[in-house]
Structure formats: structure tokens, C-alpha cells
Amino acid sequence: MTEKRTVKVALLGLGTVGSGVYKLVERQQNEMVNKVGADLRIEKILVHNIGKKRDGVDASLLTDRWEDIIDDKEIEIVIEVMGGIEPARTMILEALNSGKNVVTANKDLVAEYGKELLDAAENNGVDFLFEAAVAGGIPIIRPLKQCLASNELDEVIGIINGTTNYILTKMTEDGSDYADVLKDAQAKGFAEADPTADVEGIDAANKLSILIALLFDQYIPPQEIPTTGISKITGAEIAAAASEGCKLKLIAHASIDADGNVTASVAPEKLPVSHPLAGVSNEYNAVYVTGDMVGDVMFYGKGAGALPTGSAIVGDIISIAKSI
């Protein structure tokens, strides 16, 4: 009888998303054997405060020493869910250069340093996957790279920030003011204490930069994408759009012409209520692409949250584990 293989994984960070990944892996231990053909075991979890009480987490897995992970040759997959640029970038580079596969949900990092990290992965014969970095739980990166690979894709339109979509939905449906809905979103965990990156369109621009690189093989830094947020949207503008049979949505939009010129923007736009994206409400996201053979295709689902994002991360882990 063949001995069952074990794939050892390390988790960098145990916040909202990290906890979601941990729960999913623990919950699906038996299913993992069937999906991967091996046991998937979380071997170490890097945390900032090792003394903090964490319910439901095996304390023996916790460490505050990066060396416990990078120097462990049996760890084959590193999952980065700390967020931010540093020390995440340095740790990911060290992991890739040590022959470890890496999965991340870090859209800021992928938008800024994605090429460097992908090059490092290729040079070391390992994978660097980031399905969760663009639209949370929606499978978008792998379908674009694989399922639609035979298509020439020339346009992408998306609602790729759940916070702003939630705010605009409530302003539209309830007639509430922006400031009141923002407070409600913060209370429900849909908005950060400092919501600037979301409400000013910065988060959406980061995600759009990643999509442009994947779709059009061109890199446009997020800061070079013309970006307008929703913080100045008024109830009067919402009502005016409704009177025209439209809804206001924060839209990320990119297209490429026959000469290879890419046009991109993030801004509130009036969409006819008949448009598929107009029906995307609350914290949900959607990405709408046009291909020369498949026509219009829309990917839809929850764009944020511990379990939806964790779902995309675990999908990447399974993909890697199958190929190890």
C-alpha cells in the first residue's frame, strides 16, 4: 500500500483572512486527501504576538520567528496573508528563492511588484499564485489565464471593491447619506476604520492594474490609472441617475485597441439598469469581460470576507499541492 503523502504549509499572518484559511484547511482535512491526493498540513503560523490568545488555533503551530519557516525544508507552500508591502515582499522573495511555492491575497503587493515575484518564481521553478488578490472569492485569474486563453480579450469592466458597492447600494435603495452609510459599513465590517483606499478608488485601481497585466500583458502602475472615488457622491446624483433609468456604480474599466494602446480608469459611472453590472449589489463584486470568440462573460460573487477570500486561497493551495 502506498504511503500517504503530506504537503506541509506555513501561514504568514492570522488576522481575518489568515483565520479563514486556517478554518477552511482544518475543516476540509478529509476532503483534501481526495482533492490533492495527500494530507495538507499547516505546519507553522507566523504571528506578531505569540502570547495572544486565539480560540480554535493550535498554539504549538505559532511562531514569531520567520527563520522557523524559511529554514524548514519540509515546508513546501507559504501562504502570505499579512498584507502591506513590507515585510511581505522580502519574505515572499526569500521563500521563492528557497524553492518554496507561495500563495497570496495581497493585491497592493501584486499590483506593485507582481512581475518581480513572478520572475523569481519562474527562475526557481515554483509557483506564485494570487487568485484572491483581485476579487476575493470569485475565481477570475485562473479562468482568464486558462479557460479563456484561446480568446482575444479586449475589454474588462468590473465592480471590484465591495465597500464602495455596499455604500452606493444603500444610498440608492434607502436614500441614505454617504456619511451615514459609511458608518454603517464600518460597523458591519464592510469598511475599514480608515476607508480611504476603498472609497477613493485606490483599492480598485490596484486590482485593475493586475487585471490589465493578465489580460493585455502590459503593466500600468495603479497610480497612473485615472482614479475618482465615491466620497463626494451625493444623494442628488444618485436620484438623477435613477431618473435616467440608471444606477451609479464605481467601475473599473480597461480596454486595448488594435495598436496595443490600453485605456484604463476607475470612476463612478451611470449604468443602465438593464446592464448586468447594475444588478450587482451590496458587498458583491463582478468582472465582465469581452472575448472575440466567447463574447461577453461575467464572473460574480462575494469580493471580500474571511471565508470567500480564504476559499480562493485554498483553491490556489490545492492547485499547487496537486503538482508537487
What pLDDT is stored for residue 192 in this prediction? 83
Q: How confident is the model at residue 2 (pLDDT cuts 50, 70, 90)?
A: low
Q: Which three cell numbers stand for residue 17?
A: 483572512
Q: How confident is the model at residue 232 (pLDDT cuts 50, 70, 90)?
A: very high
Instruction: Taking residues 313-321, report their average pLDDT.
Output: 92
Q: Using pLDDT thresholds of 50, 70 and 90, give the confidence band for residue 27.
A: confident
C-alpha cell at 117: 515575484
Q: Are 151 and 293 in contact (CB under 8 A)?
A: yes
Asked if 89 and 66 touch (Cβ cutoff 8 Å), the reply is no
Catalytic residue among 100, 107, 170, 207: 207
The overall average pLDDT reported for the chain is 92
Cell of 296: 461577453
Question: Taking Cα atoms as reference points, which of 299, 288, 303, 264 lies closest to residue 169?
Answer: 303
Q: Give the pLDDT mean for 184-191.
A: 84
Please report, to the nearest 10 degrees, the dihedral formed by the alpha carbons of residues 306, 308, 309, 311 taken in order: 110
Q: In what order do the strands lie in the sheet with 128-129?
A: 62-63, 38-46, 5-12, 75-80, 101-104, 128-129
- Residues facing 77 on adjacent strands: 9, 101
- Does the pLDDT value for residue 228 go beyond 90? yes
Strand partners, 298: 288
pLDDT at 180: 93
Better-scored residue on pLDDT, 302 or 77 = 77
| 87-143: pLDDT as tens digits | 999 999 999 999 999 999 999 999 999 999 999 999 999 999 999 998 888 888 888
**Per-residue cell: 19:** 483565520
Model pTM? 0.87
Percentage of residues in the chain having pLDDT higher than 70: 99
Q: What tens digit of pLDDT does each residue of 196-217 get?
A: 999 999 999 999 999 999 899 9
Residue 68 C-alpha cell reads as 522557523
pLDDT tens figures, 262-310: 999 999 999 999 999 999 999 899 999 988 888 899 999 987 777 788 8
- Flag whether pLDDT at 7 surpasses 90: yes
Domains of the chain: 5-136+307-323 (3.40.50.720), 142-301 (3.30.360.10)
Amino acid letter for position 242: A
State what percent of residues in the chain have pLDDT above 90: 71
Active site residue 52: no
pLDDT(51) > 60 = yes
